Amino acid sequence: MMEAGLFYGRTKSRTHPKMRPFVSGTRNNFHVIDLVKTMTALGTATKIIREKVENGKAVLFVGTTSVAKGAIAEIAKELAMPSVTVRWLGGTLTNFKVITERINHFKKLKNEKASGGLEKYTKKERVVINREIERLERMFSGIEGMNELPGLLFVIDAKASETAIREAKKMGIPVVAVMNTESDPNSVDYPVPANDRSEKGIHWLVNYFERTIREARQEAMKRKEVKTQTPEKKPER
C-alpha cells in the first residue's frame, strides 16, 4: 500500500474536516492518510461486497477520471460486471426504466446492423444510424448487460462521482467509495480513505476487490453445490 502511494492525501487547506480522523500527519503541506484505518475500511467494505455477490447481486463499478477508467473497465470486463467509465448519465439508477428502454433500442440497432438489416436504408440514412450506434455505444456499453438495479455501487474518486452517489443513495443502493481527504466520508455508506489519483494505487485497490469478488463467487458456488447434493428430509409419519 505504501509503494502504491495510497497514503498521499490532499493539501491541508483542501481536506474535509470529517476526514481528519483518517489523517496520520502532514508532509510538505499535504496530509498523509493513515493506512491502518484504510485497511480497517477495506475490511468493512469487503464484508458488504461479499454479502451482495454471494446473494447474486451485481456490483456497478464507477470510475470516470483519466487515472481510474482503465482499471475500472478492466475489472468489470474480467468479472462480467457493469461499469461506467465515461460521464455519468443522469437517471442511470433513478430513472432505470427509461435507461433500460434506451439500452434495448441500442441493442436492436446493433443487431440490425450485424444481420445486414441496415441495407434497406439509403446511404445517408445508414450514416445517421451508424452515428447513433456509436453515440449509444459510448453511453451504454458498460451497462448494456445490466438488466436490473445493482446491489452495490463501487466508486473510485467520490468527488468526481457525486451524481452517481446521490442516485444510489436515493434508490437505497449501498456505496463503497475510494476517496481522498477532500471528500466527506459521511456522503457514502462505506468510505475507503486512499489516494484516488494514483494509477498504481487504483490498480492495487481494484485487484484487492477483484479477489474479494472471485472468492465470494466461489463461496456461493460451494453453497449451491452442497445444497444440491444434500437430500431433502422426508417428513416423519
Contacts of 67 (CB under 8 A, 6+ apart): 196, 197, 198, 199, 202
Kindly report each contact of residues 28-35 with a partner whose C-beta sits within 8 Å and lies 24 or more positions away, as own/partner: 31/181, 32/7, 32/8, 33/6, 33/7, 33/8, 33/9, 33/180, 33/181, 33/193, 33/194, 33/195, 34/193, 35/1, 35/2, 35/6, 35/7
pLDDT of residue 198: 87
Q: What is the DSSP letter of 208?
A: H
Q: Of the candidates 34, 49, 7, which has an alpha carbon nearest to the alpha carbon of residue 211?
A: 49
Q: What is the DSSP letter of 84?
A: E
pLDDT of residue 94: 97
Angle at 83 between CA 36 and CA 62, to 5 degrees: 40
pLDDT band at 197 (very low <50, low <70, confident <90, very high): confident
pLDDT of residue 188: 95
- Would you mind telling me the total number of residues written for the chain in this entry? 237
Q: What is the mean pLDDT of residues 50-66?
A: 94
pLDDT of residue 220: 85
Joined grid coordinates for residue 32: 498523509
Q: What percent of the chain has pLDDT over 90?
A: 59
pLDDT band at 232 (very low <50, low <70, confident <90, very high): low
Instruction: Give me the phi and psi of 218, to 5 degrees please.
Output: -65, -40
- For residue 37, the one-letter residue type is K
pLDDT band at 26 (very low <50, low <70, confident <90, very high): confident
Query: DSSP alpha helices (H): ranges in the chain?
Result: 35-54, 69-79, 96-114, 123-140, 162-170, 199-229
pLDDT in tens, 113-151: 888 888 888 889 889 989 999 999 988 989 999 999 999
Tell me the average pLDDT of the chain.
88
Q: Give the SS3 label for residue 128.
A: helix
Measured distance CA(165)–CA(170) in Å, rounded = 9
Q: What percent of the chain has pLDDT over 70?
A: 92
Domains, the chain, ordered by start: 8-90+149-225 (3.40.50.10490), 94-147 (1.10.287)
Specify the higher pLDDT residue, 184 or 10.
Answer: 184
pLDDT band at 22 (very low <50, low <70, confident <90, very high): confident
Q: What is the mean pLDDT of residues 167-193?
A: 94
pLDDT in tens, 210-231: 999 999 998 888 887 776 666 6
pLDDT band at 181 (very low <50, low <70, confident <90, very high): confident
Q: Of the candidates 11, 1, 16, which has an alpha carbon nearest to the alpha carbon of residue 188?
A: 16
